Amino acid sequence: MHHSVVYTEPMLRRAVRLFLWRGVIRRRAWMWLTAIVVPSIGLAVGWRDDPVWISFVEIAVIMLVPLCLLIVWRAHFTNTVGKFRSMTRPVGEFVFGDQDVTIRSELGSMTLPWARFTDVWQTPEFWMIFLGQDQFVTLPVMDIPEETLAFLRSRLPHNS
Protein backbone atom coordinates (compact mmCIF):
# COMPACT_ATOMS: atom_id res chain seq x y z
CA MET A 1 0.00 0.00 0.00
CA HIS A 2 1.42 3.31 -1.07
CA HIS A 3 0.27 6.64 0.36
CA SER A 4 1.43 10.22 -0.05
CA VAL A 5 0.88 12.47 2.94
CA VAL A 6 1.18 16.21 3.33
CA TYR A 7 2.74 17.74 6.42
CA THR A 8 1.87 21.14 7.83
CA GLU A 9 3.80 23.15 10.37
CA PRO A 10 0.84 23.53 12.78
CA MET A 11 0.37 19.72 12.77
CA LEU A 12 4.05 19.13 13.54
CA ARG A 13 3.98 21.77 16.28
CA ARG A 14 1.03 19.93 17.85
CA ALA A 15 2.96 16.65 17.64
CA VAL A 16 5.92 18.18 19.48
CA ARG A 17 3.62 19.66 22.15
CA LEU A 18 1.87 16.31 22.58
CA PHE A 19 5.21 14.57 22.96
CA LEU A 20 6.38 17.12 25.53
CA TRP A 21 3.16 16.88 27.54
CA ARG A 22 2.49 13.16 27.35
CA GLY A 23 5.97 11.74 26.82
CA VAL A 24 8.03 14.00 29.06
CA ILE A 25 5.87 15.83 31.60
CA ARG A 26 3.18 13.23 32.34
CA ARG A 27 5.46 10.21 32.03
CA ARG A 28 7.90 11.67 34.55
CA ALA A 29 5.50 13.79 36.59
CA TRP A 30 6.81 12.51 39.92
CA MET A 31 10.33 13.65 38.99
CA TRP A 32 9.25 17.14 37.91
CA LEU A 33 7.04 17.59 40.98
CA THR A 34 9.80 16.42 43.30
CA ALA A 35 12.26 18.82 41.67
CA ILE A 36 9.87 21.70 42.39
CA VAL A 37 8.22 20.70 45.69
CA VAL A 38 11.26 19.59 47.72
CA PRO A 39 13.33 22.76 47.16
CA SER A 40 10.18 24.89 47.58
CA ILE A 41 9.54 23.35 51.00
CA GLY A 42 13.18 23.84 51.95
CA LEU A 43 12.99 27.43 50.80
CA ALA A 44 9.79 28.09 52.75
CA VAL A 45 11.00 26.39 55.93
CA GLY A 46 14.51 27.81 55.99
CA TRP A 47 13.90 31.22 54.46
CA ARG A 48 15.04 33.18 57.52
CA ASP A 49 17.35 30.68 59.20
CA ASP A 50 19.35 29.11 56.35
CA PRO A 51 22.39 30.78 54.85
CA VAL A 52 21.63 32.81 51.73
CA TRP A 53 23.57 30.45 49.49
CA ILE A 54 21.23 27.58 50.38
CA SER A 55 18.24 29.68 49.30
CA PHE A 56 19.99 30.46 46.03
CA VAL A 57 20.64 26.75 45.42
CA GLU A 58 16.98 25.93 46.10
CA ILE A 59 15.81 28.68 43.74
CA ALA A 60 18.26 27.46 41.09
CA VAL A 61 16.94 23.88 41.37
CA ILE A 62 13.36 25.13 41.01
CA MET A 63 14.33 27.13 37.92
CA LEU A 64 16.05 24.11 36.37
CA VAL A 65 12.69 22.38 35.80
CA PRO A 66 11.38 24.83 33.17
CA LEU A 67 14.86 25.12 31.71
CA CYS A 68 15.08 21.34 31.22
CA LEU A 69 11.61 21.25 29.66
CA LEU A 70 12.58 24.11 27.34
CA ILE A 71 15.70 22.23 26.24
CA VAL A 72 13.73 19.04 25.51
CA TRP A 73 11.06 21.01 23.63
CA ARG A 74 13.69 22.87 21.60
CA ALA A 75 15.49 19.65 20.61
CA HIS A 76 12.29 18.00 19.38
CA PHE A 77 11.01 21.20 17.77
CA THR A 78 14.27 21.62 15.84
CA ASN A 79 14.28 17.98 14.80
CA THR A 80 10.63 17.92 13.71
CA VAL A 81 9.67 21.42 12.56
CA GLY A 82 13.22 22.30 11.52
CA LYS A 83 13.33 19.38 9.08
CA PHE A 84 9.88 20.33 7.78
CA ARG A 85 11.07 23.88 7.10
CA SER A 86 14.04 22.60 5.12
CA MET A 87 11.75 20.75 2.68
CA THR A 88 10.70 22.44 -0.55
CA ARG A 89 7.66 20.13 -0.77
CA PRO A 90 6.14 19.01 2.55
CA VAL A 91 5.23 15.59 1.20
CA GLY A 92 6.10 12.16 2.53
CA GLU A 93 5.65 8.82 0.84
CA PHE A 94 4.77 5.77 2.94
CA VAL A 95 4.82 2.26 1.53
CA PHE A 96 3.24 -0.21 3.95
CA GLY A 97 4.22 -3.81 3.32
CA ASP A 98 3.56 -7.05 5.15
CA GLN A 99 7.05 -7.10 6.68
CA ASP A 100 8.08 -3.43 6.82
CA VAL A 101 7.31 0.19 6.07
CA THR A 102 9.31 2.47 3.80
CA ILE A 103 9.25 6.20 4.43
CA ARG A 104 10.51 8.61 1.76
CA SER A 105 10.76 12.35 1.37
CA GLU A 106 13.18 14.70 -0.28
CA LEU A 107 15.23 14.48 2.95
CA GLY A 108 15.90 10.76 2.52
CA SER A 109 14.47 7.30 2.77
CA MET A 110 14.35 4.52 5.33
CA THR A 111 12.83 1.08 5.53
CA LEU A 112 11.95 -0.28 8.94
CA PRO A 113 10.56 -3.67 9.95
CA TRP A 114 7.29 -3.53 11.87
CA ALA A 115 9.05 -5.03 14.90
CA ARG A 116 11.18 -1.87 15.17
CA PHE A 117 8.18 0.20 16.29
CA THR A 118 7.54 0.32 20.03
CA ASP A 119 4.35 2.37 20.42
CA VAL A 120 1.81 4.48 18.57
CA TRP A 121 -0.17 7.49 19.77
CA GLN A 122 -3.25 8.14 17.67
CA THR A 123 -4.95 11.48 17.19
CA PRO A 124 -7.59 12.25 14.54
CA GLU A 125 -5.06 14.37 12.61
CA PHE A 126 -1.83 12.38 12.92
CA TRP A 127 -0.26 9.32 14.48
CA MET A 128 3.04 9.38 16.31
CA ILE A 129 4.76 6.06 15.66
CA PHE A 130 7.61 5.49 18.10
CA LEU A 131 10.96 3.85 17.37
CA GLY A 132 12.00 4.23 21.00
CA GLN A 133 11.01 6.20 24.06
CA ASP A 134 11.97 9.58 22.58
CA GLN A 135 12.09 9.05 18.80
CA PHE A 136 8.99 9.08 16.64
CA VAL A 137 7.72 9.36 13.09
CA THR A 138 4.70 11.59 12.50
CA LEU A 139 2.16 10.15 10.09
CA PRO A 140 -0.64 12.47 8.93
CA VAL A 141 -3.77 10.27 8.75
CA MET A 142 -6.47 12.67 7.57
CA ASP A 143 -6.35 11.39 3.97
CA ILE A 144 -5.46 7.75 4.63
CA PRO A 145 -8.35 5.32 4.02
CA GLU A 146 -9.78 3.42 6.98
CA GLU A 147 -8.75 0.14 5.36
CA THR A 148 -5.09 1.21 5.50
CA LEU A 149 -5.46 2.47 9.08
CA ALA A 150 -6.90 -0.93 10.06
CA PHE A 151 -3.89 -2.59 8.44
CA LEU A 152 -1.56 -0.30 10.44
CA ARG A 153 -3.40 -1.06 13.67
CA SER A 154 -2.84 -4.77 13.04
CA ARG A 155 0.92 -4.23 12.60
CA LEU A 156 1.72 -1.57 15.20
CA PRO A 157 2.02 -2.15 18.96
CA HIS A 158 -0.60 -0.76 21.33
CA ASN A 159 1.29 0.05 24.52
CA SER A 160 -0.46 3.26 25.47
The CATH number for 142's domain is 2.30.29
Which of 67, 85, 103 is the C-terminal boundary of a domain?
A: 85
108-113 sheet: strands from edge to edge: 2-6, 91-96, 100-105, 108-113
- Of 116 and 134, the structure prediction assigns the larger pLDDT to 116
List the domain range (segments joined by +) for residue 115: 2-8+89-155
160 located within any domain: no
Structure confidence at residue 46 (pLDDT): 65
Please say whether the beta carbons of 118 and 129 come within 8 A: no
Question: In this structure, are 111 and 145 located in the same domain?
Answer: yes
Structure confidence at residue 159 (pLDDT): 60
Q: State which amino acid sits at residue 54.
A: I
Question: In this structure, are 52 and 110 located in the same domain?
Answer: no
33 located within any domain: yes
Question: In this structure, are 81 and 111 located in the same domain?
Answer: no
Question: In this structure, are 104 and 144 located in the same domain?
Answer: yes
Q: What is the pTM of this model?
A: 0.77
Q: State which amino acid sits at residue 86.
A: S
Residue 146 has pLDDT above 80, yes or no: yes
Structure confidence at residue 151 (pLDDT): 93
Pairwise CA distance, residues 90 & 105, whole Å? 8
Question: In this structure, are 78 and 100 located in the same domain?
Answer: no
Which of 57, 85, 113 is the C-terminal boundary of a domain?
A: 85
27 falls in which pLDDT band (50, 70, 90)? low
Q: If 0-12 CB within 10 Å is exposed, 13-18 middle and 19+ buried, where does residue 19 land?
A: buried
Pairwise CA distance, residues 90 & 78, whole Å? 16
Residue 108: phi and psi, rounded to 5, are 150, -170
